[in-house]
Amino acid sequence: MNKSFLAQGGTPISAELATELRQLVFGTSAVPMRAEWTQTPFIYGAPKEELPYGLRSPRNATRGLLSVVQAFALKYFLFSRKARSSCNTDLLSPSVEMQRLALVTAMVEILRNIADKGKVIMVLHSPDDEPFVPHTVTYFHDSVTEKLYVFTLSPHDELEFFIKRNFNQFTEEDTPGTLLFLYSAVLTRTMGKIRTDLDSNNQPLTLPTNEEGSLMIVTLLISGRATPHIHNGVINVGDENSYAVPQYGILSRCTIGLLLWENECGQARNSSSSAPVVMRQPGSRLKTPTSPIWVTSCAGHFGVLFNQNPELLRNYHAESRFDVMYYSCSGHQLSMTIDNRTYNEMACSMLERQSPSSENNSLSGRGNKDEQNGRGNSVDIISQEENTLNTPLQRLIHTKWEEAHIRFHGQPSLLSYLFSTNQ
């Protein structure tokens, strides 16, 4: 057995706990989870390379979890006093030490929020140990879960020291760092409460169809509850033939936000009903967090949208025109300007184009050419602009700032790449 883990108060996982944990998180213990969960740690870009503030991973089922941890790490980089005092130039060009502090702080903040003043349960992996759980028909070894040590920690006195002491467990290449953190979050919340959060005794926390991770993992790490419902508060759902059942959404304003835009075509294909597809949207407790940082789920791709002004969501005038950046754990960043002032100007301009005098001027100037093309040059220009900007990311941003004009800074090809299936 691992003497170091035993000395820290760890106990080997039991067969019952390992089986229940796999069944709750992945739906079954008879088949191993997707391989990326056992091979994806928390890894930043190198400090002297581009975008050193960003966690990196290939596109896989850990992206949702990584995006939430990235959001909390950005909160540290941008708004903590320690980060601001130690960085004389760019807050987004951290040293190795600042990267480490940001990741530890993010993990601690997330687990403390989930614990809600209770104990934190963490797990560590001992690859050299023999499995504590036998390989059976109902439990198929995954090389990680059956070799875990379980630790019970105080959220204030022990947690930060424990993570720093065992930091390599979460960050060394090819280690299951993301899986260890997910298991720790689940055990800290307790499996009974997570089943209640999910509104089902049978629904797992993740599904094989979630290419970049489950929304319930994201809500667990952001709000402390693994709820599939993202509206504010409690809504009673029922009809005249059944009792109303409460649906518990987001119960308080979150530190980190969530923005969601789902692909209508993809949803329609997954729906067996002929009724119009209703696009679910987060409530204000997720759309307006205390920090101007949002985890985003956009057409099935997770990322992080953020602004560096801590007053953005506290000052109405600050939201008139501001810059935001979008980061994907593929290691790409896209910057843009969101302008909420231009809507009225654009509306007036459109009215002028549609006025009789402008129509006459346009017709006299273009003549038969417009009749042949079936449309005018001004319409061509509008269509070209819409084709450039009518992207999943623009639609996502419009779920928060509905009437904003969005100007992207960067190559249009990056927009296509970020939301392709290959990135």
Please state the three-class secondary structure of 314-371 as a single string: CCHHHHCEEEEEEEECCCEEEEEEEECCCHHHHHHHHHHHHCHHHHHHHHHHHCHHHH
What is the tally of structural domains in the chain?
Answer: 2
In angstroms, the CA 223 to CA 231 distance is 12
Residues 31 and 154 in one domain: yes
Q: Does 393 fall in a domain?
A: yes
Asked whether residue 204 falls in the same domain as residue 325, the answer is: no
**Dist CA 53 CA 248 (whole Å):** 34
**Distance between CA atoms of 65 and 215, rounded to whole angstroms?**
9
Range of the domain at 109: 7-226
Going edge to edge, which strands form the sheet with 257-261?
257-261, 293-298, 301-306, 321-328, 332-339, 405-409
Let me know: does 204 contact 27? Beta carbons within 8 Å: yes
3-state secondary structure of 380: helix
Predicted pLDDT of residue 350: 61
Q: Is residue 164 located within the same domain as residue 211?
A: yes
Q: Is residue 246 part of a domain?
A: no
Does one domain contain both 211 and 313? no
CA distance readout (Å), 110 to 40, 68, 76, 209, 357: 19, 9, 13, 26, 60
Which residues face 11 on adjacent strands? 150
Q: In this structure, what are the phi and psi dihedrals at residue 218, rounded to the nearest 5 degrees? A: -65, -45
Q: 202 and 314 share a domain?
A: no
Domain boundary among 211, 226, 241: 226
**pLDDT for residue 375:** 41
Classified as helix, coil or strand, 204 is coil
Order across the sheet with 148-153: list the strands. Answer: 11-12, 148-153, 120-125
d(CA 210, CA 226): 15
In this structure, the answer to whether residues 289 and 398 fall within a common structural domain is yes
CA–CA distance, 7 with 21 (Å, rounded to integer): 24
pLDDT of residue 345: 57
Backbone angles phi, psi at 104, to 5 degrees: -60, -45
Question: Do 123 and 161 lie in a common domain?
Answer: yes
Q: Tell me the torsion sign for CA atoms 379, 406, 59, 22.
A: negative
Is 16 contained in some domain? yes
Residue at 236 is within a domain: no
Q: Which of residues 207, 226, 245 is at a domain's end?
A: 226
Has residue 123 been placed in a domain? yes
Residue 368 lies in a domain: no
- What tokens were used for 295? 């985890």
Co-location of 209 and 261 in the same domain: no
CB 170 within 8 A of CB 159: no
Do 264 and 205 lie in a common domain? Answer: no
User: Buried (b) or exposed (e) across 253-269, using 16+ Cβ within 10 A?
Assistant: ebbbbbbbbbbeeeeee
What size, in residues, is the chain?
423
What is the model's pLDDT at position 269? 37
Domain co-membership, 169 together with 305: no
Largest CA distance in the chain: 88
Q: Please state the φ and ψ torsions of residue 22, each to the nearest 5 degrees.
A: -65, -40
Instruction: Give tens-digit pLDDT for 305-332.
Output: 999 999 998 888 888 999 999 999 999 9
Q: Please indicate, yes or no, whether residues 338 and 404 belong to a single structural domain of this protein.
A: yes
286 shares its domain with 183: no
Could you tell me which of 267, 264, 335, 262 has the C-alpha nearest to residue 301?
262
Map 138-166 to HEC letters: CCCCCCCHHHEEEEEECCCCCHHHHHHHC
Q: Is residue 243 part of a domain?
A: no
pLDDT tens, per residue, the chain with 423 residues:
899 999 999 999 999 999 999 999 999 999 999 999 999 999 999 998 899 999 999 999 999 999 999 999 999 999 998 777 766 568 899 999 999 999 999 999 999 999 998 999 999 999 999 999 999 999 999 999 999 999 999 998 899 999 999 999 999 999 999 999 999 999 999 999 999 999 876 889 998 778 899 999 999 999 999 999 999 999 988 776 777 888 899 999 999 999 999 875 444 334 344 444 445 899 999 999 999 999 999 988 999 999 999 999 888 888 899 999 999 999 999 999 999 886 545 545 666 666 655 444 444 444 444 444 444 443 343 333 444 457 889 999 999 999 899 999 877 678 777 877 666
